[in-house]
Structures are given as structure tokens and as C-alpha cells.
A and B are shown apart, each in its own frame.
Chain A
Amino acid sequence: MFAIVDCNNFYCSCERVFKPALAKRPVIVLSNNDGCAISRSEEAKSLGIAMAAPAFMMRDLIEKHDVAVFSSNYTLYGDMSSRIMETLYSFVPKIELYSIDEAFLDLQEMGHSDLLRLGFSIRKTIGKNIGIPVSIGIGATKTLAKMANRYAKKNYREAAVFWAANSVLTDEMLSATPVGEIWGIGNQHALHLSRSGFKTAADFVHAPEDWVRKNFSVVGLRLLYELRGVPSIPWEETKPARQNICTSRSFGSRLAEKTSIAEAMANYAAACAAKLRTDKTCCRSLQVFIQTNPHKTEESQYLRSINIDLDRASNHSGEIIKAALRGLDIIFKPGYRYMKCGVTAIDLVPESSVQASCFDGADHLKSRLVMQTVDRINKSLGKEIVRSAVQGFERSYRLKAEHLSPRYTTRMSDILKIQI
């Protein structure tokens, strides 16, 4: 049996832990740059605020119903997430971190007989210890667990745990699941299925295998097996190493000045280098790009990217920034209002097997020590306390985050203040 633990409206729930006055108020969290709603409390959902609804279109609704609005505070959500995931390890040794707010648990090895009770216990512990409500689905496969979780949310809101423990319960659950709601089914396939007379997941379970393979390839067949209770999706405890690392972001407002764009580019390059160091990889090549806003059709458009090869694979902030700015020098053209730039590290190699270059007299031991020290300082004193001068302080490119909550759990200056 597998379980999925899913944090309810995770970002909103994180904000509520530190602002209990919001317990019954509608809450939304906005995407990067305060663009659109990416997490909504139940109250916000029932007001009719849609997922990905642009913030400026909701202004009246927000004012009228006193909706609490937050910019996304990924530092906080990341820490709350890791507290939850680590807590899950105290219940089950095999866990697959599926996303920031979801994890699959492999319940096969454990001697638990009453999985429903285990589910309740997990829900109670996470709710009490960390303050985040979770819902849990349990089933014979990952897909059935996913479906059980959906069913729990819809029909057992209070308990928030559903175990498709036998064929009767599994059938009850699948009969209540329209084909479009099956985990991992695309819109096209859902449409195709319903046109062929399959209304619910329970109908689909009885589809002939040959027909499924012919119409939906092996992916569809795998789904069919999963719904029939035969595990067919591999278990991925550790995510495969990244093939490339991209850091790019839209600017808070459009930029024309090269110096501002260079500052942004340097910061993205530095972030990229830091990610490489975390992964213990180096890159041999960088792809650098800038672009205008394609939605502003009345403005002249420009988009260009270029690959810059490094002399020697590197994850050194200074070298990555230098290469990124060399790229920008080549592709930047004055006279446009740019919306976005970015850096992608490609052609990655493990840090331990970097090829030395014959014509390279640099002291790599020293520079590696410098980077390690910088990482250590920044980790304990705050992000980018130590950085290259080109990264600047101006940050005119900075994203809008006007409703950002404090980083309650990672910064001493931001901890919860209580008037007693």
C-alpha cells in the first residue's frame, strides 16, 4: 500500500500558523512578482477566486471580503515543508518527496495493519507539531493513493483521510472520480475517453487493454494498471541529478538600462553558481538570454540568447558571472524595454572530475576555498551578505513582493513577536 500526504492550501496554511487571526478569513498567496493567486484558503475558493487569477482583476473582491493577501515567501514555505517531510520519516522509512507540499509514503515494509489509524495519526501529528493541516489518501498504487486523497478532500473533509482498503471502497472512490480527474491524465486523453463512453475512473478500469494501448500508448496502459491496483509507476526516492540549472526571472518593471540588466544578470548567475555548488557539479557552458515582453505587441520586440563556453568547467561565482556578462555584452541591444533575462548552466560535470586545462595558471584550490567560505557565511548570516560588487545593491530589477511576510523560522530578526 502507498499513501500520499498532501498539505492543504500549503502556502496559505503556512501564513496562518504565524497569524492565527486569519484562521477564518479568506487568504491568498500570490506568485512571484505578485502576479496571480497560487494558493487559496477554502474561504477564498468559495469567494470564487480562481487559481492563477491575476491579482489586479481581483482587487474589488479582495477589498469587499477583506481577503488577506501575501507575496510568496518561499524561504518560510521551504522550511515548513522540510519540517513536515522530516516528521514523516518518523512514521515511515521510505518517502518520496513529490513536491514542496506532497510526499508519497511506501507503507509496504511496515507492519501497520490499520492504515487508516496510521493516516489519522500522521494528520494529527503534523497538525499539532507544525500547524499545517494535511489530507491523506491510501491505496494499492500511487495513482490510487492520489485518487483516495482527492476523494478524502471532497467527501471526508473533517477526517481528511481515505483508505481504499478493499475492492468495494476502491470502486466507490473510482465511481465518484470523473475521467478528467484521474491523476496524470491530460485534457486530450480525458476528452477522448469521455467521447468513447467512459465517464468515471471506474468505467475506465474495465477498458480492454488492447484498446487502451492502441489509443493511449504505454502511458495509458500504465495508468490502467495503476487504477487496477498493480504498481506501475517507479518509486523515486531521490530526484535524478539536474541536467541543467536555469535561473531566470521577470523584472519588477521593464528595464532599458544596460547597467540594471547587468546587475540582474550577475545576480542570476551568482544564484546559478550557488545551485551548482549545492549539487557538487560544474558547468562547461552557459546559455545567456534577454527578452522583451512579447505581450506588449505595440513595443518593438527583441529576444536573443547565446552560449558562452568556459575555459574550464566551473561553479565559481566570479567565473560564472564573468561569462554571463560577456554573453550580455554580445547580445544586448540598446533601445528596447526588456522584461526578462536569465542564465542556464548546461553541460554539467561532477565537481570531482573537472578536466584541468594546460594553459590555466589559476589557483583553483584557493578559489574553491573562497567559495566554500562565502557559502558558509551566507548560510549563517543571510543570503548574499557576501557577494560580487557587480551584483550591486540597487536591485531596480527586483520582483514586486509588497505583501511579504517575515521569514519567521530562518532569520533571527524576523522571528514571531508576541505582545504579552
Chain B
Amino acid sequence: MELLYYETPVAAGFPSPALDYLEERIDLSRELIRHPLSTFIVECTGDSMMGAFIPPKARLLVDRSLNPVNGNIVVAVLNGEFTVKFIRKNDHTCWLVPANSKYPEIKISAEMDMQVWGVVTHIITDTEDLRKCMR
């Protein structure tokens, strides 16, 4: 014979008046990540995007499902290497543009192999690191 028994204790007492109003606590990752299946998190090093408030050690949320439009910050693969830059394009030409005057713009020519890996949707950084962008 199989006996079912209950292991969960039953508490008695005055019920909380907030019980009817309970909601799930805010879940940041749900708020920030619109497409969880195509979103990846990456970490940056380097200062080429300081002007775009991406200090070294910043984490970026990258959504692969989005189509990059002019002015997006993208994770690109340039000749096999990852980079993060603004993308600028017109009907004929495409550039990867840094946000730091120390670095040149990269004009994408026919012999270069460039692909957009994903579009950066959010920058996660602590305020301490962010101050490096303000100097």
C-alpha cells in the first residue's frame, strides 16, 4: 500500500494585508534583454570606445537578432578578430568608427572581411570605471 503524506507545514495566524497585492520583484535581465535566445554578454578591454561611455571592463549586452542601422554600436568581426565600434554606412561604403580620437576610422574595403556579429543594446559598467570616460 502506498501512503501519501504531507511534508509541508501549515502556518496559521494573521494573514498579511499585502498578500493580494504581491507582484514579482523586478528582474533586470528580463527588462534589459528583449531577445534572450539571441543575446550574449561580452566583456571589453581597451579604450577605443571611451567617448561612447564604454570604459575598459565594461560588459555589453549584444543582440545578434537585430539588423545594424547607421549609428549603432556593434560587435564586428574584422578579418577574423572581434572589435566593438560605431557602424556608419551609406549606399556605397561602410565604416567602423571608434569613439576616441586616438584611433582612426576604418573604411571597409572590398578586400576586407567584415561581418557584424551583433548589435550592442546595453552597456553595463560601474560608476567608478565610468569616470575614466569623463577625463
Instruction: Point out residues on A near B: beta carbons under 8 Å.
Output: 20-21, 23, 83, 86-87, 125, 128-131, 352-353, 355-356, 364-365, 368, 408-409, 412, 415-420
Q: List 7 A-B contacts (CB under 8 A).
A: A21-B81, A130-B64, A131-B64, A355-B2, A416-B41, A419-B83, A420-B48
By a CB distance below 8 angstroms, the chain A residues around B80 are 20-21, 23
Quick check: A352 and B4 within 8 Å, CB to CB? Answer: yes
Top 3 closest pairs, chain A to chain B, by CB:
A129-B38, A21-B80, A420-B84
Asked if A420 and B64 make an inter-chain contact with CB atoms under 8 angstroms apart, the answer reads: no
Interface 1/0 per residue, B1-42 and A, CB below 8 Å: 011110111000000000000000000000000010110111
The answer to whether B81 and A408 touch across the interface, beta carbons within 8 angstroms, is no
Contacts of B87 in A (CB 8 A): none
**How many residues does chain B have at the interface if contact means C-beta atoms less than 8 Å apart?**
33
CB distance from A385 to the nearest CB of B (A): 20
- Chain B residues whose CB sits within 8 angstroms of the CB of A23 once the complex forms: 80
Residues on B with beta carbons closer than 8 Å to the beta carbon of A129: 35, 37-38, 64-65
Nearest CB of chain B from residue A23's CB, rounded to whole Å? 7
Cα-based distance from A408 to B82 in the complex (angstroms): 15
Known contacts A23-B80, A415-B43: A420-B38 contact under CB 8 Å: no
Distance to closest chain B CB from A84 (angstroms) = 8
Contacts A420-B48, A420-B49, A420-B85: A408 and B75 contacting too (C-beta < 8 A)? no
**Contacting residues, chain B, for A365 (C-beta < 8 A):** 7-9
Could you count the A-B residue pairs with CB atoms below 8 Å apart for me: how many are there?
79
Interface centre among A128, A352, A368 (most CB of B within 10 A): A128
Given A130-B38, A365-B7, A420-B48, A415–B59 Cβ distance below 8 Å?
Answer: yes
Interchain nearest-CB distance for B76 vs A (Å): 10
User: Are B65 and A128 interface neighbours, CB within 8 A?
Assistant: yes
| Bound CA span A297–B112, Å | 57
Instruction: Tell me if B7 and A420 are in contact (CB < 8 A).
Output: no
With A and B bound together, what is the CA distance between A129 and B66 in angstroms? 8
Q: Is the CB of A87 within 8 A of B75?
A: no
Q: Which one, B5, B35, B44, B115, contacts A418 given CB within 8 A?
A: B44
Measured in the bound complex, the distance between the Cα atoms of B118 and A236 in whole Å is: 35
CA distance A418 to B83 in the complex (A): 6
User: Which residues of the other chain, A, contact B46 by a CB distance below 8 angstroms?
Assistant: 419-420
Closest Cβ–Cβ distance, residue A7 to chain B (whole Å): 15
Contact B38 A416 (CB under 8 A): no
Q: Are A417 and B2 in contact (CB under 8 A)?
A: no
Q: A128-B65, A368-B7 are in contact. Are A417 and B38 (CB under 8 A)?
A: no
Whole-angstrom CA separation of A408 from B5 in the bound complex: 44
User: Does the CB pair A415–B42 fall under 8 Å?
Assistant: yes
Do the beta carbons of A419 and B82 come within 8 Å of each other?
Answer: yes
Instruction: Output the nearest chain A residue to B85 by Cβ-Cβ distance.
Output: A420
Known contacts A129-B35, A418-B84; 8 further A-B pairs (Cβ under 8 A): A20-B81, A130-B37, A130-B64, A353-B4, A416-B41, A418-B45, A418-B75, A420-B44
CB distance from B119 to the nearest CB of A (A): 11
Q: Given contacts A129-B35, A420-B45, is CB(A356)–CB(B64) below 8 Å?
A: no
Chain B residues whose C-beta falls within 8 Å of the C-beta of A408 in the assembled complex: 40
Q: How far is the CA of A59 from the CA of B29 in the complex (A)?
A: 44
In whole angstroms, what is the CA distance A109 to B31 when docked?
Answer: 33
One of B44, B45, B64, B77 near A20 (C-beta < 8 A): B77
Interface string of B53-82 (1 = CB under 8 A from A): 010000100001100000000010100111
CA distance A87 to B2 in the complex (A): 42
A420 pairs with B65, CB closer than 8 A: no
Query: How far in angstroms is the closest Cβ of chain A from B5?
Result: 7
